[in-house]
Amino acid sequence: MKRIVECVPNISEGRDKTKIQAIASVVETVPGVMLLDIDPGASTNRTVITFAGEPEAVTEAAFLLIKKAQELIDMRTHKGEHPRQGATDVCPIVPVSGVSLAECAEWAHRLGERVGRELGIPGYFYEAAAKTEERRNLANCRKGEYEALDKITSAAWKPDFGPDQVTEGVKRSGITTIGARDFLVAYNVNLNTTSTRRANAIAFDIREAGRTLREGDPVTGKPVLDASGEPVRIPGTLKAVKGIGWYIEEYGIAQLSLNLTNIHITPVHVAFEEACAKAAERGIRVTGSELVGLIPLQCMLDAADHFLRKQQRSLGISESEKIKIAVKSLGLDDLAPFKPEEKIIEYLIAKKMGVQDRLVQMNLIRFAEETASESPAPGGGSISAYVGALGASLGAMVANLSSHKRGWDDRWEEFSEWAEKGLYFQRELLRLVDEDTRAFNRIMEAFALPKGTEDEKKSRAAAIEAASKYAMEIPFATAELSLQSMEVMRAMVEQGNPNSITDAGVGALCARTAVLGAVMNVRVNAQGIKDKTFADSLAQRASALEQQAEKLEAAIRATIASHIGGA
């Protein structure tokens, strides 16, 4: 899975468009970082900037943004409705895919330490990056706001990074709070009512904070107080959810406005199902929902899996089909068309960066034409990976057909697991289609390096050796995955829908071809490697894969022959 994090710094400028643009634009000077959104607020005098990419690049972009904000924003003259204490007031790093919250906290620490060391800005770490429990809450870190700047000189609020004295530079920059938090999904649920009061009642049923316990009438009654004089609360049913009800003039309906602050605790589909249940208890029907902002791909896939399980259907279907299931099940197209490429953060990043996997995005005719062209790539390695992907696809297809076969309803989970395995091999092998071509190109780039001096010759030779090793490793991975995928086809030949036994057989033939073709490429690329221990070891392991593939293919063909005849 591609490693992606989101960064959402809030800067203390919401009125000067020139300054805002100058600050936001620095993030795109870092290769691989995508500026996703700029949301200024005049009354708050604050702008929320959103960008994403791989952790290293995003952390570098965040540093440059904080530096530019320090140059252009003077906190000594700042006024606004939103609480604030720094030019870059807060800067959270948020995991999107392939990165844990704990890793984001580590990146936040690196960023903060660099901000303190190089820019002389004091600050605190909050939420998952907090060094103490008291500083986990952002409101605690920002208590007193900019006007309490001298708190950094106290022992209790000594900064986690940067100076602990109020210099002229600190007066200008203020305090920056850097943290790591989970992805927050802003999610609205549509109701078939215009009543804000009833929508609020449902929101209070659901949200973690619940509602205040009152004497007599639950709305107008006197609040019940605890021993310390604080109102007693009736908690809602969902953790990590904030919410209210409101009426939207634009749509002419009431909605539940929910913030899902930890999608691992309460995913989108759980919030939707609970909203449906609580609305029904009050005689109200949920008609759909809408996303405000972006959502991680995994949230959509998890929602699709949830609804597929409820239908006792195979989970081993394509990603695009799962997105359709999620959209329809959650009613995300109730108010307006849902465009995955604009609402799913990974898709939006890919769209902005341009498609990197050039070959697998081609249609069949274009791919065949590109292969037949005078260019040496794509070559046998890429084609082997693609043939392997086709084989795995056939295995997944037979598993899905078996899962859906009349009379086999009690076996749907068994076949769903096989289909998911088939789809895993398909995805990995498709990735290797382009990766094999990139590996070939790396060799060509290494050979093109200058060789005028002894140092240049050494660097060039090292680059050629490294690229040649990589060009062995990629087809070896293709062979290994293709062999593993044959277990899916064997299972489907032996246990799957008998009407599709030959489809699984063709899948096995494709996988075996992929193994043999990839092994050829391992051997040919071994010839240019000077490290013979490495080359010989990998070539021997590849030969073992080849033998296993041929043996497994023969066994599968024999099973098929026993059913349909033939040698």
Instruction: Provide the pLDDT confidence category of residue 567 given band limits of 50, 70 and 90.
Output: low
Residue 87: per-residue pLDDT: 97
260 located within any domain: yes
Among 38-52, 388-402, 465-479, name the one with the lowest average pLDDT: 38-52
| CA–CA dist 155, 386 (Å, integer) | 62
State what percent of residues in the chain have pLDDT above 90: 78
Instruction: Provide the pLDDT confidence category of residue 411 given band limits of 50, 70 and 90.
Output: very high
* CATH of residue 326: 3.30.70.670
| CA–CA dist 557, 566 (Å, integer) | 9
Residue 13: per-residue pLDDT: 95
Residue 475: per-residue pLDDT: 95
**Structure confidence by residue, pLDDT tens digits, 58-115:** 999 999 999 999 999 999 999 988 889 999 999 999 998 889 999 999 999 999 999 9
Residue 375: per-residue pLDDT: 83
Residue 334: count other Cβ atoms within 10 Å of its Cβ: 17
| CA–CA dist 47, 15 (Å, integer) | 9
| Closest C-alpha to 318, from 217, 266, 396, 390 | 396
- Total domains present in the chain: 3
Q: Is 161's pLDDT higher than 90?
A: yes
Residue 41: count other Cβ atoms within 10 Å of its Cβ: 15
Report the mean per-residue pLDDT for the chain. 93
State what percent of residues in the chain have pLDDT above 70: 99
For residue 354 the two structure tokens come to 């341009």
| CA–CA dist 535, 166 (Å, integer) | 61
| CA–CA dist 166, 187 (Å, integer) | 41
Q: Is 176's pLDDT higher than 90?
A: yes
Residue 329: per-residue pLDDT: 97
- Choosing from 37, 82, 109, 334, which is the catalytic residue? 82
Q: Which residue has the higher pLDDT, 374 or 450?
A: 450
**Structure confidence by residue, pLDDT tens digits, 317-366:** 999 999 999 999 999 999 999 999 888 988 888 777 664 557 888 889 99
Residue 353: per-residue pLDDT: 65
Residue 184: per-residue pLDDT: 86
Residue 374: per-residue pLDDT: 84
Q: Scanning the structure block, which residue is given the tokens 């907090």?
A: 130
| CA–CA dist 428, 485 (Å, integer) | 11
Do 118 and 48 share a structural domain? yes
pTM comes to 0.75
Q: Is 1's pLDDT higher than 60?
A: no
48 located within any domain: yes
Do 250 and 169 share a structural domain? no
Residue 446: count other Cβ atoms within 10 Å of its Cβ: 18
**Structure confidence by residue, pLDDT tens digits, 455-496:** 999 999 999 999 999 999 999 999 999 999 999 999 999 999
Do 125 and 82 share a structural domain? yes
- Alpha-carbon distances of 550 from 106, 462, 476, 539, rounded to whole Å: 47, 36, 16, 17
Residue 249: per-residue pLDDT: 87
Active site residue 16: no
Do 410 and 535 share a structural domain? yes
What value, to the nearest 5°, has the Cα angle with vertex 341 and ends 338 and 344?
A: 80
Q: Which residue has the higher pLDDT, 44 or 280?
A: 280
* CATH of residue 437: 1.20.120.680
Please, are residues 89 and 125 in contact by the beta-carbon 8 Å criterion?
no
Q: Is 255's pLDDT higher than 90?
A: yes
137 located within any domain: yes
Instruction: Provide the pLDDT confidence category of residue 398 given band limits of 50, 70 and 90.
Output: very high
* CATH of residue 30: 3.30.990.10
Full domain range(s) for residue 116: 4-180
Q: Which residue has the higher pLDDT, 43 or 499?
A: 499
- Choosing from 182, 434, 436, 503, which is the catalytic residue? 436
- Alpha-carbon distances of 325 from 296, 312, 315, rounded to whole Å: 16, 14, 11
Active site residue 333: no
Do 528 and 408 share a structural domain? yes
Residue 342: per-residue pLDDT: 86
